[in-house]
Structure 1
């Protein structure tokens, strides 16, 4: 095995991105190093028409990640059925990237991160299709009964390729040129909406140190047939209200107006949020947007100040409360025909923000703004997970504060993280595993360097990192 080396080419960055999407870290990626191609693998690659003059380093690093048995099986299966592709090198590279993206979690967890000697290459794992060593070059290799390519559908392949394109665009094009600068509120970063449906509850409450977030569920027009009392709309949860909230804050920040004009059609509104225009998304977004706008939010800060005088010690408790709904008025004149969400409305669709909520975004002479910038392309790439959206926004916000205060590092314990993000996780072990996977995914789409360290016993350490948006955006926190 060759010693580890810096990541040189774009092809290797594809491998790193796929490895991160599978749940690995850059330290583990470098630990795997590279592995020299043997005569059998060289013979099969040349037989398939693969050009090794410029891509040999890529395949050696891919072999270091996949292991001897898996890599040899992948090359052999492609050599036996290369298809009619005019670019066999590009096709095999794509298959290697897909294979790295599908590495088992247990296998990735076995890779050390501290620069120790890499784990054994041949016997680390087996998928029952290549347990034996490859045959000699003179003997024809049989195609494995369960080739690794069978695990990838065309839809899965397109998804992986799309994510790789997004990750490359984030790294190479500034967010301003991509028109991807969005904003969120720091108040909602300190405590979050539920990830899954909490059921028919009147109140949702989360605490984070001296900060308390309460969401009172609003009432709709429907009434209970027995008591004739109005029914509650339900508590907003999941991905949809988070995307809608970011869109509302972004529009208020850009237009400097409390009146937010929405799209002419529901299809256009979903497109702005990066959501596909399916029937399921149409129903879910309309329901969650109604819940979000009908809810009443309360942000409470408790500060304790100790004054020492000549005679005694005085402790003062200060409480700041900002109760307000998001909107005082709104009109959603989108068509009721869910089969035709592209139909434009005859009337204007708008949201009139509550003055208190609007002032918290823009800031006034007596209060600072709680809005801070995000990269919306990153949010679009991780939007399948509400936990990932919350973690990304929280990480950006903490790093802005870290750099604003001139601190070098900040430690956050697992207890504090669980109080903020772990409402849906009863098992601390499962929560830590999920957070590690989430941070790895965010790192794939973080512009520049994302500096963090995992301590599975104690917590997470965040260090100075590259800001996803221009550093001038940090003025929102001042």
Structure 2
């Protein structure tokens, strides 16, 4: 693998970011980083390992992933949604998700609105295959275990169950994406065979052979896909907000030039956390956002983001996947 010249300097910055996210009390599983003397929790230690790998080694092979550009600006819900519709808007971009029905073997079953980590990672997984192979048909039978492996998730029953539930919800959902006068209406998935489970024999869920993306969604994806580092997705898989912030920065930073852009807490909250509606929602959101931002910056070392009075300053930065000299799709 090709090494970066500024690795040691970047590692110091990574440690500073991770240190800011560490809690005062250390769990029994904490470990000590020899170079800094910092006591790291097991979770922070894994984040540092991923950050070090990303900072010192260029992405190759399966390290490259993709997602839709609009979903980098407005994400799916992060927690369970009551009701059958979800709307989020940020500036000129917006997304509307409506729950749909899926035949699970005995007629139509109303699915929940997809939420959380799994549909985000699942969409990236499906989008990556579609772009790599230039085809709408995604073989996801045996690939379900491969997906869990790529995400560093144990292939136990609970993981399969969560993946099945969220992919069912995603396959049934109607999705609208809008940006500057153009609206995509439809469903990302045109055809999907439900992942049936045999309760009588207690056999593992039967996986479908093929998921077919709709022509419109596939065309929109090809035109506007954003490259991401799969190692970063794997490191951030415990937080939907972290995944959203990472995808947002990957899409936006390399488009900035000059003095950059300052985003205030109110603007950031409206983009990422419209559900904060308390007495001081901006302050509540800021308290959650800053530790997440530090984690994201640890696995996106090229990102130039600074905390300033009233918000954060975004400055022009290289994308996580280089435009030139990176891996071929």
TM-score band w.r.t. shorter chain: 0.7 to 0.9
- Report whether the alignment pairs 1:398 with 2:252: yes
Offset at 1:461? 1.2
Alignment of 1:263-274 (within 5 A): 263-264=141-142, 266-274=144-152
Provide closer, same or farther for how the CA distance between residues 266 and 301 of structure 1 changes in structure 2, counting only shifts above 3 A.
Answer: closer
Offset at 1:428? 1.5
Q: Is the 8 A contact 2:297 2:303 kept in 1?
A: yes
Offset at 1:293? 1.0
Q: Is the 8 A contact 1:293 1:326 kept in 2?
A: yes
1: CA distance, partners of 2:308 / 2:7: 31
RMSD value, Cα:
3.3
1:430 to 267, 279, 284: 284
2:133 to 255, 261, 275: 255
For residues 362-410 of structure 1, the C-alpha deviation after alignment (integer angstroms, 9 at most, x for no partner) is 2xxxxxx1101011101111110000000000011011322xxx44412
1: CA distance, partners of 2:186 / 2:142: 27
Instruction: For residue 298 of structure 1, give the secondary structure of its aligned residue in structure 2.
Output: strand
1:202 to 61, 84, 106: 84
Provide closer, same or farther for how the CA distance between residues 92 and 298 of structure 1 changes in structure 2, counting only shifts above 3 A.
Answer: closer
Provide closer, same or farther for how the CA distance between residues 237 and 333 of structure 1 changes in structure 2, counting only shifts above 3 A.
Answer: closer
Alignment of 1:291-330 (within 5 A): 291-302=169-180, 319-330=181-192
Provide closer, same or farther for how the CA distance between residues 437 and 473 of structure 1 changes in structure 2, counting only shifts above 3 A.
Answer: farther
Alignment of 1:403-418 (within 5 A): 406-418=257-269
2:28 aligns with: none
Q: Is the 8 A contact 1:296 1:325 kept in 2?
A: yes
Q: Is the 8 A contact 2:70 2:93 kept in 1?
A: no
1: CA distance, partners of 2:47 / 2:266: 32
Larger Cα Rg: Structure 1 or Structure 2?
Answer: 1
For residues 17-65 of structure 1, the C-alpha deviation after alignment (integer angstroms, 9 at most, x for no partner) is 344224269xxxxxxxxxxxxxxxxxxxxxxxxxxxxxxxxxxxxxxxx
Q: Is the 8 A contact 1:195 1:424 kept in 2?
A: no
Instruction: For residue 102 of structure 2, give the secondary structure of its aligned residue in structure 1.
Output: strand
Instruction: For residue 20 of structure 2, give the secondary structure of its aligned residue in structure 1.
Output: coil
Q: Is the 8 A contact 1:372 1:473 kept in 2?
A: no
1:17 to 14, 19, 24: 14
Provide closer, same or farther for how the CA distance between residues 236 and 92 of structure 1 changes in structure 2, counting only shifts above 3 A.
Answer: closer
- Report whether the alignment pairs 1:282 with 2:160: yes
1: CA distance, partners of 2:33 / 2:210: 50
Alignment of 1:55-454 (within 5 A): 93=34, 96-98=37-39, 101=40, 156-157=41-42, 159-176=43-60, 179-199=62-82, 201-221=83-103, 231-264=109-142, 266-302=144-180, 319-332=181-194, 336=198, 341=204, 349-362=209-222, 369-402=223-256, 406-426=257-277, 427-447=281-301, 449-454=302-307
Offset at 1:198? 1.5
Instruction: For residue 152 of structure 2, give the secondary structure of its aligned residue in structure 1.
Output: coil
Instruction: For residue 467 of structure 1, give the secondary structure of its aligned residue in structure 2.
Output: coil
Structure 2 unmatched runs, 5+: 1-5, 26-30
2:312 aligns with: 460
Q: Is the 8 A contact 2:164 2:195 kept in 1?
A: no
Offset at 1:450? 2.0
Provide closer, same or farther for how the CA distance between residues 301 and 9 of structure 1 changes in structure 2, counting only shifts above 3 A.
Answer: closer
Provide closer, same or farther for how the CA distance between residues 22 and 167 of structure 1 changes in structure 2, counting only shifts above 3 A.
Answer: same
Offset at 1:272? 3.2
Provide closer, same or farther for how the CA distance between residues 91 and 451 of structure 1 changes in structure 2, counting only shifts above 3 A.
Answer: closer
TM (norm. structure 2) is 0.82
2: CA distance, partners of 1:92 / 1:359: 46
Q: Which has the higher contact order (CA 8 A, sep 6+)?
A: 2
TM (norm. structure 1) is 0.58
Aligned length: 310
Offset at 1:248? 1.1
Instruction: For residue 471 of structure 1, give the secondary structure of its aligned residue in structure 2.
Output: coil
2: CA distance, partners of 1:92 / 1:361: 41
Structure 1 unmatched runs, 5+: 1-7, 26-65, 71-89, 102-155, 223-228, 303-318, 363-368
Q: Is the 8 A contact 2:11 2:55 kept in 1?
A: no
1: CA distance, partners of 2:307 / 2:138: 41
1: CA distance, partners of 2:294 / 2:202: 38
